[in-house]
Amino acid sequence: MLRTLFRCAALAAAAIASAGTAGAQPLSTVMLGSKALSAGGIQAVALQRTRRAPSVAAFGVVLDPGPLISLSAQIAAARGTLAAARATTTLQRSEAARAAKLYRSQHNISQAAFQAAQSQLLVAQANQASAQARLGELLARARTDWGARLGSAAASGTAPLPELERGAEQIVEVSLPLGQSLPPASTHPRASTPDGKRVALRLVGRAPRAVAGVAGPSLYYLMATQDSAPIGTPLTVALSGHGTVAGVLIPASAVVWHDGQALVYRQGAPGTFVPVAVPTLTRAGGGYFVAEASDAALQPGQRIVVSGAALLFSASQSPPAAATARAAKPEDDD
């Protein structure tokens, strides 16, 4: 029994060491006796049918919040200018009314002074109208450039503007490919950076325009500072699509990789294990979801190996002679 365990472990080590250089090799069906199954810890479970929302692959990018923060500052400054213009208009209106009363009451002031007061009121009103137009332009730009939620935040200075200003959160724009309709908004989609780091996103709202080069509908999300990434970092995002699809969940321990292709081992007759390629995997919890299809190699009720898949992988390959010799060495030394 001990020798068998050493042999299985050595085979697995040899397979892992040679996996990067072996290249694509045909994999054969593995047949093991009950003693080998027990020694190798081979365990299989039946696949269960489940339903989940289909996943829609989307493209994300971390945006520079600077333009939004700058626009918010411009709106605040425009509001201040408008408030000052209104105060000036109120003062000049009072001065013009006083001048008119004095002029019409036995010409207590000159006509020139009366006309000057009227002109100053007109100038103040013109300045107020200009300030009002400038504020309206900035508010419209906030809505058209950043959408309802972020545009409103820029106009009022409310969340998430303070968080963006102090770097506590970042804006992520998520876009769908051209021709893909926008699914029901995923409030917390799955996302990851190019190095595989998982990040948490929180929905803000729909973006008002498509991203150049993508041309599909877009959504804005917020990313917390603990998941921060440099501006411009691309993200891989999986949004939940329309409706639900049937399929099976595969534990992560069941999946092995061969030449860039994911595969699992399906149990046929007792002690017989067939390598099955799984071309499309979608991460789900601690494993993967595979959509069910009439011609799919994996169906509910079939049994797959969830413990010992690496040992079966090594056994189904034809490792180089040197690797075989190295694998046998531990037993010879014993």
List pLDDT tens digits, range 243-298: 778 889 899 999 999 888 889 999 988 889 999 988 777 777 678 888 887 667 78
Distance CA(298)–CA(306), nearest Å, equals: 14
Distance CA(193)–CA(223), nearest Å, equals: 12
Q: What percent of the chain has pLDDT over 70?
A: 84
pLDDT of residue 294: 61
Q: How confident is the model at residue 185 (pLDDT cuts 50, 70, 90)?
A: low
According to the 3-state scheme, what is the secondary structure of the chain? CHHHHHHHHHHHHHHHHHHHHHCCCCCCCEECCHHHHHHHCCEEEECCEEEECCEEEEEEEECCCHHHHHHHHHHHHHHHHHHHHHHHHHHHHHHHHHHHHHHHCCCCCCHHHHHHHHHHHHHHHHHHHHHHHHHHHHHHHHHHHHHHHHHHHHHHCCCCHHHHHCCCEEEEEEECCCCCCCCCCCCCCEEECCCCCEEEEEEEEECCCCCCCCCCCEEEEEEEHHHCCCCCCEEEEEEECCCCEEEEEEEHHHCEEECCEEEEEEECCCCEEEEEECCCCEEECCEEEEECCCCCCCCCCCEEEEECHHHHHHHHCCCCHHHHHHHHHHHHHC
Min mean pLDDT across 26-30, 87-91, 219-223, 277-281 is at 277-281
Q: How confident is the model at residue 39 (pLDDT cuts 50, 70, 90)?
A: confident
Q: Which two tokens stand for residue 89?
A: 């208009």
pLDDT of residue 6: 37
Omega of the bond leading into 160 within 30 degrees of 0 (cis):
yes
Average pLDDT over residues 237-245: 79
Q: How confident is the model at residue 214 (pLDDT cuts 50, 70, 90)?
A: low
Q: Which two tokens stand for residue 136?
A: 């309206």
pLDDT: is 118 or 13 the higher one? 118
pLDDT of residue 289: 86
Distance CA(25)–CA(81), nearest Å, equals: 73
pLDDT tens digits, residue range 127-164? 999 999 999 999 999 999 999 999 999 999 999 999 99
pLDDT of residue 295: 63
Q: Which two tokens stand for residue 11?
A: 């085979």
Which residue has tokens 């979801």? Answer: 289
Residue 91 corresponds to which amino acid? L
Distance CA(275)–CA(110), nearest Å, equals: 104
Whether the per-residue pLDDT at 230 is higher than 60: the answer is yes
pTM over 0.85: no
pLDDT of residue 23: 46
The mean pLDDT of the chain is 83
Min mean pLDDT across 86-90, 123-127, 311-315 is at 311-315
Q: Which two tokens stand for residue 174?
A: 């998520």
Sheet holding 282-284, edge to edge: 49-52, 245-251, 287-291, 282-284
